[in-house]
Amino acid sequence: LAQHDSEYEVLRWASVAEALRLLSYPNERASVRKAVRLLQERDES
C-alpha cells in the first residue's frame, strides 16, 4: 500500500452499508451499489 493514490489517507474493510455511509460523493456510492449489483447477478447465474 506504499504506492497508494494520494486522494485518500485511510484504507480499511467496511460492510456495504458502512461504506455507503462513509463515502462523501454520490458517484462513489453509485460505484459501490453497482459493484454489489454485479456481484449479486454473477452469483445468481
pLDDT digits (tens, 9 = 90+) for 1-45: 567 677 777 788 999 999 999 999 999 999 999 999 999 999 998
Q: How many domains are contained in the chain?
A: 1
Distance, CA of 43 to CA of 5 (rounded, Å): 30
Residue in 10, 28, 7 with CA at minimum distance from that of residue 19:
28
Q: φ, ψ for residue 14 (rounded to 5)?
A: -150, 155
pTM above threshold 0.85:
no
Range of the domain at 45: 1-45
